[in-house]
Amino acid sequence: MDEWIDYFHLKESVLSDDNHSYFLHDNDYIVDELTYRVQAGDMVFIEGAPGTGKTRLLFEIIRKFGSKRQVVYLDCKNIKSTVDIKKLLLDRYGSWNRILKKLPKKMIVLLDNINKLDYKNCERVKYYFDQNNIQSIIFAAEDRHTVQFSESLWQRIGKRIIQIPALSERGYKEIIEDRIGRDNLNAKAIKQIVSLSNNNIKILLDNTRDILQYMEANKMHKISIEKISEILNAD
């Protein structure tokens, strides 16, 4: 365990970006809407600024539907060349179907950072949706205007575009208080960290970790907003 975690009596993963709980405070209604849309067999587009919880929403859908091997998740920013959509569907459905090359039906496909997927592959996804191999697709990106979609693909999405609202300053403050409590950093210190985190939850968690590590290294239990600015601006 890291020394700063023990110093502040925290759980080991408390500031990890792998902790998926933070977005549910304000966005549980979006999870309900996505769940309904998946069950209805729709295409949906999630749009939101960096760190607003788009990937977390997709992970929640995996949690809800992934047990039956019917969910395919792909982060398009990791694609270095053409992606084989057919192979992705076959691989997820099990070895016997791969041997028979039998495409599954009613799969759920989650495409993160869809702006990184080229036009040709977007059309392939649409094709397998039209063939009923894919039951529902959730696309996610920062800005829908940057994606390479055909007009017919947008027609299938229709008005099912969900825009994730940015958190308020209070919302960001509550995220940190939920993670580390109210005793380790006072309200002014948290407010200062929030102000230096560019409205990005990932940066906020990293900045909070940096401050707590500094405090532990210097055996501090309080820290001034001036020192916080000095530490975070130095990065």
Q: Compute the radius of gyration of the chain from its Cα atoms.
A: 21
The upper half-sphere exposure of residue 49, i.e. CA atoms within 13 Å in the direction of its Cβ, equals 9
- Together in a domain, 137 and 76: yes
Residue span of the structural domain in which 46 resides: 41-163
Considering the domain boundaries, does residue 113 fall inside one? yes
Please name which of 156, 151, 147 lies closest in space to residue 128, comparing C-alpha atoms: 156
- Per-residue model confidence as pLDDT tens digits over 62-85: 999 977 678 999 999 888 767 778
137, 163, 189 - which closes a domain: 163
Number of compact structural domains in the chain: 2
Candidates 188, 222, 201, 216; CA nearest to 56 is 201
Burial of 66 (0-12, 13-18, 19+ CB in 10 A): middle
Between the CA of residue 187 and those of 20, 184, 191, what are the distances in Å? 24, 10, 6
Note whether 55 and 152 are same-domain residues: yes
Output the pLDDT for position 20: 47
Whole-model pTM: value is 0.75
| Domain stops at, among 163, 180, 195 | 163
Closest CA to 75 of 42, 115, 107, 45: 115
- Same domain? For 179 and 229 the reply is yes
User: Considering the chain, what is the average pLDDT of its residues?
Assistant: 86
- Residues 116, 176, single domain; the answer is no
Q: Is residue 147 domain-shared with residue 84, that is, in the same domain?
A: yes
**In this predicted model, what pLDDT tens digit does every residue of 136-183 receive, in sequence order?**
999 999 999 999 999 999 999 999 999 988 777 888 888 888 888 888
Q: Based on the fold, state whether residues 115 and 189 are members of the same structural domain.
A: no
Q: CB neighbours of 77 closer than 8 A, spacing ≥ 6?
A: 112, 113, 116
Residues 121 and 60 in one domain: yes
Cβ(112)–Cβ(18) below 8 Å: no
State whether 101 and 48 are in the same domain.
yes
Q: How many CA atoms lie within 13 A of 88 on its CB side?
A: 22
* Shared domain check, 186 and 159: no
Q: Is the pLDDT of residue 53 over 90?
A: no
What residues have CB less than 8 Å from 20, skipping those under 6 apart?
A: 56, 59, 60
At 92-102, the pLDDT tens digits run: 666 545 554 66
Residue 27 lies inside a defined structural domain of this protein: no
Same structural domain, 182 and 157: no
Domain end point (choices 132, 147, 163) = 163
Give the DSSP per-residue string, 28-59: HHHHHHHHHHHHHT-EEEEE--TTSSHHHHHH
Does 115 have pLDDT greater than 70?
yes
Asked if the structure places residue 24 within a domain, the reply is: no
Residues in the chain: 235
The answer to whether 92 and 72 are in contact (CB under 8 A) is yes
Domain contains 35: no
Q: Where residue 99 sits, what CATH number does that domain have? A: 3.40.50.300
Write out pLDDT tens, residues 171-225.
888 888 888 888 899 999 999 999 999 878 888 989 999 999 999 999 999 999 9
For residue 35 the two structure tokens come to: 């769940």
212 and 154 in a single domain? The answer is no
